[in-house]
Amino acid sequence: SAVISQKPSRDICQRGTSLTIQCQVDSQVTMMFWYRQQPGQSLTLIATANQGSEATYESGFVIDKFPISRPNLTFSTLTVSNMSPEDSSIYLCSVVTGHGYTFGSGTRLTVV
Amino acid sequence: GENVEQHPSTLSVQEGDSAVIKCTYSDSASNYFPWYKQELGKRPQLIIDIRSNVGEKKDQRIAVTLNKTAKHFSLHITETQPEDSAVYFCAASKASGTYKYIFGTGTRLKVLA
């Protein structure tokens, strides 16, 4: 299965600022997914990122708040913009392989 | 919209006993059902999956059953061990097209030594 490097692993940010999370995959993948996992909660899909096209956002998530880049088949970024304490969460990228989803190690974001 | 319900939310069992977690999905077009285990502070890891053309799949102490008619699928863990303690998530997907997973709400399993 694919190996995903995600960074940063954690960050503490001031409200009103932005944080960009990076995911690097060790093989070329068509689709990458960005999930949010709030403390003690399930995984909620933010958007699907395909190379060469605009990301597809799920209900409740908008591009202005969570802009995504997908410049090639091995890399993607998610930016959390104009952060508020409600954005404190774990953010995970994932890819589809022959063995289902493989997740990155996650970014634990705390907004103060 | 698409939805996956998961029960129970917490489950405590004695070491050596069996544990069963149940999920119900709403989208009849779903045809792929993975189960993920998430240990504290770690990423979710796939432990077993089942496709809609199969009714049951087993891997050592872990098994998954699927009832397509009732839109139910279940995870069975036998001879539980303390290292089975974790949060378990079920998911449903169409396994084609968007490959989007809809996750259940999770079950926190505690295996008591």
Report the residue from B43, B45, B104 with minimal CB separation from A92.
Answer: B43
**Helix ranges, chain A (H):** none
Most A CBs within 10 Å, among B47, B103, B107, to test the A interface: B103
Q: What is the pLDDT of residue A57?
A: 96
Is residue A66 within 8 Å of residue A58, measured between CB atoms? no
| Spatial separation of the C-alpha atoms in residues A89 and A77, rounded to whole Å | 16
Determine the average pLDDT of the residues in A47-64: 92
Please indicate whether, in this complex, the C-beta atoms of A104 and B44 are within 8 angstroms of each other: no
CB pairs under 8 A between A and B: 44
Is residue A39 within 8 Å of residue A109, measured between CB atoms? no
Per-position DSSP letters for B16-52, written without gaps between them = TS-EEEEEEES-TT--EEEEEEE-TTS--EEEEEEET
> Within an 8 Å CB–CB cutoff, is residue A23 touching chain B?
no
- Estimate to the nearest angstrom the gap between the alpha carbon of B36 and the chain centroid: 7
Q: Which two tokens stand for residue A40?
A: 């003690």
| Spatial separation of the C-alpha atoms in residues B89 and B43, rounded to whole Å | 12
By CA distance, what is B6's nearest residue in A?
Answer: A42
| Spatial separation of the C-alpha atoms in residues A101 and A84, rounded to whole Å | 29
Question: In chain B, what residues touch A45 (CB-CB under 8 Å)?
Answer: 100-102
* Residues near A30 by beta carbon (within 8 Å), at least 6 away in sequence: A50, A51, A73, A96
Average pLDDT, chain A: 94
Mean pLDDT by 10 residues, chain B (113 residues): 91 98 95 94 94 92 96 97 97 78 96 94
Q: What is the pLDDT of residue B98?
A: 64
Q: What is the pLDDT of residue A75?
A: 95
